[in-house]
Amino acid sequence: MMIKKLLSYTFSASLLFGSVGLQATPVELDRVAAVVNKDVIMQSQVEALSAQVKRQYQAQQQPLPKASLLNKQVLEKLIQDSLQVQMAEQLGMKISDAQLEQTILNIAKDKNQTLSELQADLAAEGVSYAEFRHSVREELLIAEVSRIQVRRRINISEQEVDNLLKMVNAQDSKQLEYRIGHIMLKLNEEASASDIERVTEKAENVLTRLKSGADFSEVALAESQGPKALDGGDWGWMNINDMPTLFAKAVEGAKAKDIIGPFKSSNGLHIIKILDAKGQTKITSTEVNARHILIKPSIILSDEKAKQLLDKYRKQIINGQADFTELAKAHSEDPGSAVKGGDLGWADPEMYVPAFRDEVLRLDMRELSQPFRSVHGWHLVQVMGKRSTDITEQANKQKAYQVLFNRRFSEESQNWLNEIREEAYVKIMDTK
């Protein structure tokens, strides 16, 4: 980038000086607006970006800033961009063509356009597609180097995350409403040891029945001695402020369908079930338990031969001539799972490469896949189990971390930019 700009400047200057003898008034093609270390920013770049910003202001029907102020801000942006790109180049960072093309497709998608329509819009604005690709690549490079350099300056402790999470949960809990089911087994404070033992045993029996799937209202109607027994123990909808203190303490941190207890009060033993909850967000993740056989193509084993080999293994398994586990142990080229008969254990499919992820999500239980290709080679996979896991707590914790990170990123990003600006050689030319 820097060499191209310097060549552009040299070429422009030679045209300017070479034309002095041919005409009385030389035509200036371009000039240097600023020198940033070994890079130069041309006045044409300042004007191009200023024109782009003006179009954005006009599209949003906002009053245009003064030209001198706009040019100053634009030049400062170009200087910061140049410093960040130079650092990225020093670190050997690159943006692949695949990443660039995917980003451009996403830009078009966000605008509800095809790639051709996006290119047509750019042409109408006087921006060539090559220039646009270059600017997107630079923006990606700047974002990446900034993310890497600023991230290492940010330290967030577990305690900070937990403190924020508690504060958020406390605020959210005021908005929550619970529909509570309640069973009470009477036991006064003067009860004998044998009465305590008898009622405790009964409470444990009730709890076991509920956890085994018994209908709560039927059990409450039959066993509860509480005030809502005739209603199947249903207290209806309440928030924390409306419910008895006994319930409020019990439901803290609980979620819909949780069964809590038995716990003791001065009136007896209690069992609570949160029949439902409003305003409570539950985040689940699908996990799969899969096993596979991996065959990697090589110089001596072609792609087609690798697929044929798995076709043969598949037929042998279906016909009962071979066992999946034994075939995986003998032939799979995934060393981590081969020793376990191809077993990958329970995992979130998102951890797998796209082709493998899509296949395990598509397969029914115990269904044996057709041979399919991923970046690792050819696979034969079988899903042994699927389950939904509640990841609300982990997701909320990650959200709290992200909130803290975002708060500090902007501040640290500016500090970092100030530092690299102070350490750099920057000369702003007189453009009057």
Q: What is the DSSP string of 316-372?
A: HHHTTSS-HHHHHHHH---HHHHTTTTEEEEE-GGGS-HHHHHHHHHSPTTPBPPPE
**What is the spatial distance between Cα 130 and Cα 138, in angstroms, rounded to a whole number?**
12
* Residue 89 burial (C-beta neighbours within 10 Å; 0-12, 13-18, 19+): middle
Cα–Cα distances in Å, from 207 out to 179, 202, 364, 402? 19, 9, 35, 39
pLDDT of the residue at 15: 30
pLDDT band at 431 (very low <50, low <70, confident <90, very high): low
pLDDT tens per residue across span 352-410:
988 899 999 999 999 999 999 998 999 999 999 998 777 677 777 877 888 888 888 87
Mean pLDDT of 65-82: 90
- The residue with greater pLDDT, 311 or 71, is 311
Q: Is 425 helix (H, G, I), strand (E, B) or coil?
A: coil
* Average pLDDT of every residue of the chain: 86
Q: pLDDT over 70 for what percent of the chain?
A: 89
pLDDT band at 254 (very low <50, low <70, confident <90, very high): confident
Asked whether the beta carbons of 176 and 277 are under 8 A apart, the reply is yes
Mean pLDDT of 93-115: 90
Residues 6+ apart with CB under 8 A from 42: 5, 8, 9, 30, 31, 32, 33
Cα–Cα distances in Å, from 228 out to 44, 183, 221, 232, 369? 79, 8, 9, 7, 54
Q: List phi, psi (to 5°) of 345.
A: 70, -175
Mean pLDDT of 193-218: 93
Q: Is 138 helix (H, G, I), strand (E, B) or coil?
A: helix
- Counting Cα atoms < 13 Å in the Cβ hemisphere of 191 gives 19
pLDDT tens per residue across span 113-166:
999 999 999 999 888 999 899 999 999 999 999 989 998 888 889 898 888 887
Mean pLDDT of 265-291: 84
Mean pLDDT of 328-339: 94
